[in-house]
A and B are shown apart, each in its own frame.
Chain A
């Protein structure tokens, strides 16, 4: 698996406060990498370090297999588009003129402006002043700017902020379709678990500056199918019986919950209960939501 972004022990401190702590991020080529974490976890700081906007206290960044340094930064970033925090725009210029500036600076052909405008569906508003745009329009303008110059990598910081539901869906579809169409790699940060779930192929979860999980989305979901909920006629008897045989079980909401839901463990537990004369009304392995996974990983409720 080829890595587009690779960081080693990336750290940023402001004064004594460590905002990003020894981050080892690995973004594979062609992936949509969801960078997940609550507000203030260090997502934006990490993205800014990847773009060279702020300097890491320690650690190394490799993008396109080159170690990022002040000299080659712009050469590398030529192949990357970005949208960081609140959108950047010149309020006194039209949307199109804003894109002309980015196009000129990137040295991209002017025809790409029309393509980018079409991609984010802004053709009709391109001659209005950016200062009069709604937040959602500004966000799209920022996305269009990021897409100019046919980048191989897209860094997006909460790109659906401020969009209406239809707009959110559009942007999501666009982001999901990009890697397939153009082979682009997308790194997208969000504090919304459901959003990452819908778009990402890979996930990194950051909390208080530390990367607490990083793998494919499938691996994250695998985390979740490991509990069996059993409804019985006699919970107390069921628990005693399971405890005697050393099978971990808890009771929650009137259900017995088996921590280990592997096939052999389930067969054994059910057989034990049936022999003990406990009636089994229902046994199910509900899909655990990402919220629960997050809760389990961080030990706290995520702020949505």
Chain B
């Protein structure tokens, strides 16, 4: 497995997939920080809560398509050079699928790290007066990884199954769109849209006062059961995706 991962590393040379990852992470950080340029006292007093509320929303907009692009770039070189048939004589298709998955997760992990760093940096730069709750930071990190893992799994499977990379990207675009829109719907409906899960686990709610035009963030219960159910669904998609890829003949 280590050897096979090293082979994936060699393949990634000169493809600059990390540039896409870095651009996504940077954009998310800037977008998050952008709102705090003219922050007043009340904004700063709930600065972290505000970020923990808003960043999942930005993730929902950006990451479905972003991860689709990363998955497509990591898989496309196999299709362009028709190397799948060569690799299939050298490694198990299951392992190839797993290696590619780990490569993708690495990029997802980097994005999550950048975002976390961004939160801390914004807190320091704008002098948030709110005390940082490590539990919320950890939850943010974890739920971003979980939701991203699901989307990445989906995109990688599509990118490997479809020679034409148009289809997976269309799915990514639809995902970004549908995920964002579904958030304006009741929970029962939005939970049917897998791309909305970047936001589903946010343990913070927002109250907007129309008269004072003030936002007030307040904590709520973390939906543990939902989270575990989502993880189970992710494992299910992993098994199905891998099976589809292994059974594909070319």
Contacts and interface: CB of A to CB of B under 8 A. Distances in A.
Interface of A: 48, 51-55, 74, 77, 80, 82, 84-86, 88-93, 97, 100-102, 104-107, 130-131, 145
Interface stretch (B28-36, B80-88, B131-139): B80-88
B38 interface: no
Interface of B: 3-4, 6-7, 10-11, 13-15, 77, 80-92, 249-250
A4 B172 CA distance: 48
A91 B81 contact: yes
A88 B82 contact: yes
B89 A93 contact: no
B83 A90 contact: yes
A90 B81 contact: yes
Contacts of B15: 92
B86 A88 contact: yes
Given A55-B249, A104-B6, A105-B3, A93 B13 contact: yes
A92 B11 CA distance: 8
8 contacts: A51-B88, A53-B89, A82-B86, A85-B82, A85-B85, A88-B83, A105-B7, A107-B3
Given A104-B3, A105-B3, A77 B249 contact: no
Contacts of B88: 51-53
B85 A105 contact: no
A130 B85 contact: no
B83 A89 contact: yes
B77 A91 contact: yes
A89 B81 contact: yes
A131 B15 CA distance: 13
Contacts of B82: 85-86, 88
A54 B85 CA distance: 10
B77 A105 contact: no
Contacts of A80: 89
A97 B249 CA distance: 27
Nearest to B4: A105
A53 B81 contact: no
B90 A105 contact: yes
B86 A145 contact: yes
Given A53-B88, A92-B15, A97-B10, 13 more contacts: A51-B89, A53-B85, A55-B249, A74-B89, A82-B86, A88-B83, A89-B83, A90-B11, A90-B83, A92-B77, A102-B86, A104-B4, A106-B90
